[in-house]
Structure 1
Amino acid sequence: MENLETLDLSFNDLHGSIPPSLSKLTFLSKFSVANNHLHGVIPNEGQFLSFPSSSFEGNAGLCGEIYIPCGDVSNTSLKPVMPSSSNNRFRRNSILCVTISIVVGIALLLAVGLLKMSRRGVKDQNDDFDATSAGRTDCKELTVTDLLKSTNNFNQANIIGCGGYGLVYKANLPNGTKAAIKRLSGECGQMEREFQAEVEALSRAQHKNLVSLQGYCRHGNDRLLIYSYMENGSLDYWLHESVDGVSLLKWDVRLKIAQGAARGLAYLHKGCQPNIVHRDIKTSNILLDEKFEAHLADFGLSRLLRPYDTHVTTDLVGTLGYIPPEYSQTLTATCRGDVYSFGVVLLELLTGRRPVEVCRGKNCRDLVSWMFQMKSEKREEEIIDSSIWNKDHGKQLLEVLGVTCKCLDPNPRQRPSIEEVVSWLDGIGFESGTQ
């Protein structure tokens, strides 16, 4: 059950303490032991730091960093200490002081609230929209009501994509332009963390090969992110979801996409300050505009690299088939980990196959293992998608395959930097005359 994502044990009349071993469930995104009879210290490792306090309420004996502080209590029983008769007077005086303080505090809050209302009147909560520093200023005039109208109240027919914690909708804005709105919803701590990471990353990082964040909004339990609209959707669609089952992307277009995505990733790793580790590079997070220019998207798992940092500590997150092998061993995310994930994308561009759906039968393997096996058997040409194989650029295809193999080296220290990858891919494009 290591891949368990949801565990709800609320209202189960459970006794005892929360097993520390549950912190090893690195894919756990929703967890609740509310309304039981549990006691002891809540684990503070793994995904537990992302769970809201409501996951633990209704357990008088629980405490921890993310719930009720444990103070100096070192045992796991956490039994309440009853006051003795000698300090009853002190207790009554303390209660009186606390009560007076609470009353005064409430009075002050009411006074501040009334003052604000008198200054601005009763403002519609639907106007809770903020424009980011990375976006265009014309989004400052939008309201939540405008966003609801532009997506037909988030109608299912407007869905154009889906992420880990929400859906993406096509929006026709009042000024006549199109936009993509990601709607994150729920009370999961991970959802809030994704929202903050996306806003922080795209407010700092601005590059022609990154999606442009126009604005963001907090509204109730919803978190809305508004982006520039990408006419041609995701690379994943063009490689794997076409109606006739055959990709329509020619090799020169695929190479152009690879070059653009690599430049965007290089900017994250070295161009912006502080540097950013994306942690979820994959074909569905590479969006294409009307000219098939690549734009990296979905920064919900990204992490900032402060000066002199070489890595960030991480849970085992990402998408199966793209996760670097070292993540499960060291739980550290690095720029070389992003390079591995980009190598998987290059392999998809070369093969037209999904990273975990290579073959059927007893000898079925993941795409990376299959590629290395074929290469060891000197069958490189059979790796390439037959729809793009052509003797005129066969040498070029095999050169990109060589770059791909370097990116997918199991040893992260042997992988190239993304800047080196950009240089190699641009050199291949220059030689072939494609841009």
Structure 2
Amino acid sequence: MACFSCLFSRKKTFSAEQTIEIDEEVSGILNTKRFPYKELKMATGNFHHSNKIGEGGFGVVYKGTFRDGTMGAIKVLSADSKQGVREFLTEINMIAEIEHENLVELCGCCVEGNHRILVYGYLENNSLAQTLLGGGHSSMQFSWDARRNICIGVAKGLAFLHEEVQPHIIHRDIKASNILLDKNLNPKISDFGLAKLFPDNMTHISTRVAGTTGYLAPEYAIRGQLTRKADIYSFGVLLLEIVSGRCNTNRRLPLSEQYLLERAWNKYESRELVELVDTSMGGEYDEEEAQKFLKIGLLCTQDIPKLRPSMSQVVKMLMGEEAVNDENISRPGLLSEFTALRGQKDNSGMISEGTGKGGNSSSSSENVTTSYATMTFNSIFDRSN
């Protein structure tokens, strides 16, 4: 009984210290508006379930309407989520000081008692995961022009994080559910809870693995070596998804078609890439440009990280300002191979960063822990099965 008593008293002490630490850190962020909890409670109808627009391992996201009629996406951190507290602070620190048309806008936060809440601008068309890749859950149709605009917008947002922000930022969780769309289908990169700063003098960061299976670069998933090339790999997978209109993994398909990246490489080798283009467009697209985008996706997912282009190069290739050389495309790091090595996967496909000491130490596949690692505004459906 004494042991249980000791454990409970430790938990209470940690929570109190944690609260003080968070209050001090958030109070030091000068450019972030502090919302009263009462105001957010009113905006969401007392956090009514009808206003819920997303849910994950670290809490729930609600649509909120403020007194002046403006709307917001209100991300409520679960009170007992230790990992989520770190993400809460990371998310504020990463985007409070930066602004770009292809990044979500942080409007403010709430830190009152045990309440930890982030307030973002509301985006009318949810995420790519719900709309384009929604598997029939959405009636939205995406033209080729819309897809091109989304691809270029996401690439510009990532190029900004990788090359213009100082120190550079690695997102670590680029995926369809983290690409939100406004009323004009302009893309916004969201969820910076796993992001890492990357100083100029670093060649890589050795860290425990965090992200989403299907989008993880092999060298990062297996060895924990993080560089900007890991984000570029994830973008390449996303690019293939946008052009093909399907998720990177679909186990309802025949085995030879389950993994999009593997299928794309096979089609590239047999000179049949056009067969991957989404048939829902009814043939109304630029065939040459669509195949070029698929080739760029393969360039971004090459097995050897140094062969992958930078995001600024990707932007130029997507916009037709730089040629895509077929001879530069080598074999990708295939999802089906490195997930077999890792051998661990939870229902959401999420991999979390370890919460113990030594979180920035080098890790290998046995250090990977599985949990609901990040919460996105709109990741309601599990589309990996």
TM-score category (smaller protein): 0.7 to 0.9
Give me the identity figure in percent: 35
Please point out which of 150, 166, 169 is paired with 1:276.
169
Please point out which of 168, 187, 198 is paired with 1:305.
198
**Residues 93-125 of structure 1, C-alpha deviation per residue, up to 9 Å, x if partnerless?**
xxxxxxxxxxxxxxxxxxxxxxxxxxxxxxxxx
The equivalences for 1:176-215 within 5 A come to 176-215=69-108
Please point out which of 371, 378, 399 is paired with 2:292.
399
Question: In the alignment, which residue of structure 1 is the partner of 2:115?
Answer: 222
For 1:230 and 1:131, locate their aligned partners in 2 and report how far apart those are by CA, in whole Å.
28
Distance 1:219 1:193, change over 3 A: same
- The answer to whether 1:54 aligns with 2:8 is no
**Residues 165-218 of structure 1, C-alpha deviation per residue, up to 9 Å, x if partnerless?**
121110001221101110111333211110011001011321111101111122
1:427 deviates by 2.0
Q: Is the 8 A contact 2:130 2:138 kept in 1?
A: no
Q: Is the 8 A contact 1:280 1:319 kept in 2?
A: yes
Question: In the alignment, which residue of structure 2 is the partner of 1:165?
Answer: 58
Distance 1:368 1:359, change over 3 A: farther
For 1:131 and 1:148, locate their aligned partners in 2 and report how far apart those are by CA, in whole Å.
25
1:226 deviates by 0.3
Counterpart amino acid of 1:269?
H
Distance 1:270 1:347, change over 3 A: same
- The answer to whether 1:152 aligns with 2:45 is yes
The equivalences for 1:98-177 within 5 A come to 133-134=30-31, 139-140=33-34, 142-177=35-70
Question: In the alignment, which residue of structure 1 is the partner of 2:376?
Answer: none
- Equivalent pairs counted in the alignment come to 311
Question: In the alignment, which residue of structure 2 is the partner of 1:353?
Answer: 246
Q: Structure 1 stretches of 5 or more lacking a match?
A: 1-10, 14-33, 39-51, 58-128, 430-435
TM-score by length of 2: 0.74
For 1:345 and 1:290, locate their aligned partners in 2 and report how far apart those are by CA, in whole Å.
21
Q: Helix, strand or coil: the match of 1:208? A: coil
Q: Is the 8 A contact 1:312 1:332 kept in 2?
A: yes
Q: Helix, strand or coil: the match of 1:223? A: strand
Distance 1:244 1:187, change over 3 A: closer
Please point out which of 284, 290, 307 is paired with 2:183.
290
Return the index of the structure with the highest Cα Rg.
1
For 2:46 and 2:28, locate their aligned partners in 1 and report how far apart those are by CA, in whole Å.
21
Counterpart amino acid of 2:152?
Q
RMSD, aligned CA: 3.0
For 1:348 and 1:206, locate their aligned partners in 2 and report how far apart those are by CA, in whole Å.
27
**Residues 17-37 of structure 1, C-alpha deviation per residue, up to 9 Å, x if partnerless?**
xxxxxxxxxxxxxxxxx8499
Q: Helix, strand or coil: the match of 1:240? A: coil
For 2:113 and 2:128, locate their aligned partners in 1 and report how far apart those are by CA, in whole Å.
33
Counterpart amino acid of 2:208?
D
- The answer to whether 1:267 aligns with 2:160 is yes
Distance 1:232 1:274, change over 3 A: same
- The answer to whether 1:344 aligns with 2:301 is no
More moved, 353-362 vs 418-427: 353-362
For 1:216 and 1:325, locate their aligned partners in 2 and report how far apart those are by CA, in whole Å.
35
TM-score by length of 1: 0.66
Q: Is the 8 A contact 1:130 1:217 kept in 2?
A: no
Q: Structure 2 stretches of 5 or more lacking a match?
A: 15-25, 323-385
Counterpart amino acid of 2:240?
L
Counterpart amino acid of 1:54?
K
Question: In the alignment, which residue of structure 2 is the partner of 1:258?
Answer: 151
Counterpart amino acid of 2:149?
K
Q: Helix, strand or coil: the match of 2:212? A: coil
Distance 1:303 1:244, change over 3 A: closer
**Residues 295-337 of structure 1, C-alpha deviation per residue, up to 9 Å, x if partnerless?**
1000000011123123222212111111111112321221100
Higher RCO (C-alpha under 8 Å, 6+ residues apart):
2
